Amino acid sequence: MSFFIRLLETTDANRCELEGLPKIQEMLNGKMTREEYKAFLMDLYHIVWHFCPIMAAAASRCPDDFKEVRYHLYYNIDEEKGHEMMVLEDLKAFGVDADTVRASVPSHAVQAMLAFNYYTCERVHPCSVVGMLYGLELISSVYSGQLATSISLGLDLPITQGFTFLDSHSAMDLDHVAELRKLLQTIHDPHVQDIIINAIQMNFYLFIQFMKDTYSPSA
C-alpha cells in the first residue's frame, strides 16, 4: 500500500468527524452570526500568522535526506507570507481594528494546535510539518469557498465585504494539496510517515475541538 493511500485511509475518519460537527453544518447553511464570524476570524488570524514561522522552523531543521520537504517549505512560505493581512482586512470590514486582533489571545484549542506544531517540528521530526500543511490546507480547499458563500449570504453581505481570505483560499489550497500529494511520494521512511499521519490526526483533532469550543456568543 502506498503511503498516500494509507494516509487517506487512516485520516478520513477525522475529516468526516469535522464535517459532521453541528457548527460546521450551521456555517455551511449560512446560520453563523456576525459575532460568531468575527470570533472565528480572530482565531483564524493567529493560525495564519503562525503558519509561516512554523514552516520556517521546520525548514531550518530538515536534513538533506528530506531536502524535497525543505524546498517545498521554502516555496510555501513565499506563497503564504502576508496572508494574515487578508484576515485583518476582513475583520476591519466588521469593525474590528488590527491592534485589537493582534492583542487578542486565541482560544485554548488554537493555542494547543500552534504549540503542538512548533513542538513536533522542533523536537520530534521536521517533516511533521507536512501533517500540519496537509490537514489545514485540505480543510481550507474543501470548505473555505463554500463557507465564504454561505456565511455571506446568511449575513446578507457581498462576498467582497469581509470574506476575502476564505473565498480566495479554496482554489489556492486545492493546488497546494495536489502539490503535497507529490511531496508525500518522496517520503519513504515508515517512522517519518507515522509522524506525519499523527500530525494530521492531531491537527484535525484540535481543529475539531476549536470548532466545538468557540463561536457561541454566550461562551
Q: What is residue 78's predicted lDDT score, i.e. its pLDDT?
A: 93
What pLDDT shows up at residue 198? 96
**Would you state the pLDDT for residue 172?**
63
Question: Residue 163 in contact with residue 89, Cβ under 8 Å?
Answer: no
Q: Which of 86, 90, 83, 62 shows the shortest CA–CA distance to 74?
A: 62
Q: CA triplet 93, 146, 9: central angle to 5 degrees?
A: 130
Single pTM value for the model = 0.92
The tally of CA atoms less than 13 A away on the side-chain side of residue 49 is 18
Which grid cell sits at 24?
A: 460546521
Rounded to 5°, angle at Cα 209 from 207 and 211: 70
- Residue 77 to residue 59: CA distance in whole angstroms: 10
- DSSP-derived 3-state class of residue 196: helix
Retrieve residue 87's grid coordinates. Answer: 484576515
* Sequential DSSP letters for 25-60: HHHHTT---HHHHHHHHHHHHHHHHHHHHHHHHHHT
User: For the chain, which residues make up each domain, given as ranges?
Assistant: 3-213
Judge whether 204 and 20 are in contact, CB under 8 Å. Answer: no
pLDDT at position 176: 75
Cα(4)–Cα(103) distance, rounded to whole angstroms? 39
Smallest CA-to-CA distance from 123 within 52, 171, 191, 58 is with 58
Q: pLDDT at position 217, please?
A: 42
Q: Provide the residue-wise pLDDT of the chain in tens; the chain has 219 residues.
A: 789 899 999 999 998 999 889 888 888 999 999 999 999 999 999 999 999 999 999 999 999 999 999 999 999 999 899 999 999 999 999 999 999 999 999 999 999 999 999 999 999 999 999 999 999 988 888 888 899 999 999 999 999 999 999 998 776 656 778 888 899 999 999 999 999 999 999 999 999 999 987 654 433
The CATH-assigned architecture of domain 3-213 is Up-down Bundle (1.20)
